[in-house]
Structure 1
Amino acid sequence: MSNLKDEQWSDQRLVTAVLNGHRHAFGLIIKKTEGLVAQMTFKMINSPGDRKDIAQDVYLKAFKNLRGFKFQSKLSTWIGQIAYNTCLHYLEKKKLVLIDNFGEDGEIPENNFNKDVRNDTEEKLFSKELANMLHTEIEQLKPLYKTLISLYHQEDLSYAEIAEITSLPEGTVKNYIFRARKMLKENILLKHKRNEL
């Protein structure tokens, strides 16, 4: 194998190298996708021991099925699909609730968590407190909402990429992300008001 840096390997070269018996190349695939797989398993699976087993299972499935990868999507998206489906199968087997069922919210506005920029130490403390509160509230969401929020806001994946990974229609992905944001906002406001009493 040539001395190209790890990040310079294209999906096609990596897959070809693995299929030709170069184990180092599969290590590079893991290195390129482990953040995505970790995000998904951490958000969908509560048990730390099971997370590790699931991540190993994801890469075992990817390795076994690599010959069938057709380059119709990015390799990371394909491995993301495997991770999502593996987590989903685990949750179904454990009969755990993936999302809460409640009414449709209609139109989905394109608003991210907007931050007003104030000044100095007070603002930094407030931002840190808000970030901690947000992290805590995200962890309280049902697995699917948690996962979608993470993929969109932390992994910076597009709605289309998330739809491809989860096999959900793009409109459903947008709707679920909107619902998750709405729940987060309501829960944070509720706790903030309770703390003021």
Structure 2
Amino acid sequence: MNNQNENSRTDEALVERVLNGDTNAFRTIMNNTEGLVAQIIFKMVADGEDRRDLAQDVYLKVFKKLSGFRFNSKLSTWVGQIAYNTCLNYLQKKRLVLVDENDFDGFNQLYSDEAESLVLTKELSQVLRIEIDKLSPLYRTLITLYHNEDLSYSMIAQITELPEGTVKNYLFRARKVLRDKLLHIYNKEVSR
């Protein structure tokens, strides 16, 4: 609890400094949150140009909305929420799918010879990263926030504005899709 109070005071001091015109304080906020923002954007958006534009857009929104931040959550969580919502808006404008309904039906896609050779030449961790990148944007983001960023269900729920139970459910489904894909690849290799 003491660490949480310390983080809150640090967040308040940073926000106050930014609102008083201290550009270095805003740079500190950016440095403290850039990993989280990058993870969200990279897992939700495929296009490199759009990723850069979205990152700039996120921090522009953070700067403009900073005076309205009420410290109901950590500053980094609030910035992550802005990044997530910015990506959602991007996906909606581009009419891209956030959750692929086919993921719910389990894995039934056949892999090409290219994927088979990939399994032969790459380590499991590389295959796993590739399979994560094939997930729908929401599943990729949730897996990354939970497993790479070590965020709690509660923090992910705050960022995504999804109920905590939904976050747990989607994470379960995403892991199941990954497991099914990896088992399919493994079984193809064993049967060779």
TM-score bracket relative to the smaller structure:
0.7 to 0.9
For residues 183 and 20 of structure 2, what CA distance do their matches in structure 1 show?
Answer: 55
Runs (4+) off by over 6 Å: 102-105
> Which residue in 1 is equivalent to 2:95?
95
Q: Does 1:129 align with 2:123?
A: yes
Shift of residue 102, structure 1, vs aligned partner: 6.3
> Which residue in 2 is equivalent to 1:181?
175
For residues 175 and 52 of structure 2, what CA distance do their matches in structure 1 show?
Answer: 28
1:52-91 superposed matches below 5 A: 52-91=52-91
**2:101 match: secondary structure:** coil
> Which residue in 1 is equivalent to 2:32?
32
Cα offsets for 1:166-196 (capped at 9, x unmatched): 0000000000000000000100110111123
> Which residue in 1 is equivalent to 2:157?
163
For residues 183 and 132 of structure 1, what CA distance do their matches in structure 2 show?
Answer: 17
> Which residue in 1 is equivalent to 2:109?
none
Q: Does 1:146 align with 2:135?
A: no
Structure 1 unaligned blocks of 5 or more = 1-6, 106-127
For residues 171 and 100 of structure 1, what CA distance do their matches in structure 2 show?
Answer: 19
For residues 101 and 131 of structure 2, what CA distance do their matches in structure 1 show?
Answer: 18
Structure 1 counterpart of 2:101, which letter? N
For residues 77 and 134 of structure 1, what CA distance do their matches in structure 2 show?
Answer: 27
Shift of residue 43, structure 1, vs aligned partner: 0.2
Give yes or no for contact 2:156–2:167 (8 Å, CA) kept in 1.
yes
TM-score by length of 2: 0.84
For residues 104 and 73 of structure 2, what CA distance do their matches in structure 1 show?
Answer: 30
TM-score by length of 1: 0.82
For residues 103 and 77 of structure 2, what CA distance do their matches in structure 1 show?
Answer: 30
For residues 46 and 20 of structure 1, what CA distance do their matches in structure 2 show?
Answer: 37
Give yes or no for contact 2:98–2:137 (8 Å, CA) kept in 1.
yes
Structure 2 counterpart of 1:84, which letter? Y
Q: Structure 1 residues 140, 102: CA separation in 2 closer, same or farther (over 3 Å shift)?
A: closer
> Which residue in 1 is equivalent to 2:22?
22
In percent, how many aligned pairs have the same letter?
60
Shift of residue 130, structure 1, vs aligned partner: 1.6
Cα offsets for 1:68-87 (capped at 9, x unmatched): 00001000000001000000
Structure 2 counterpart of 1:133, which letter? V
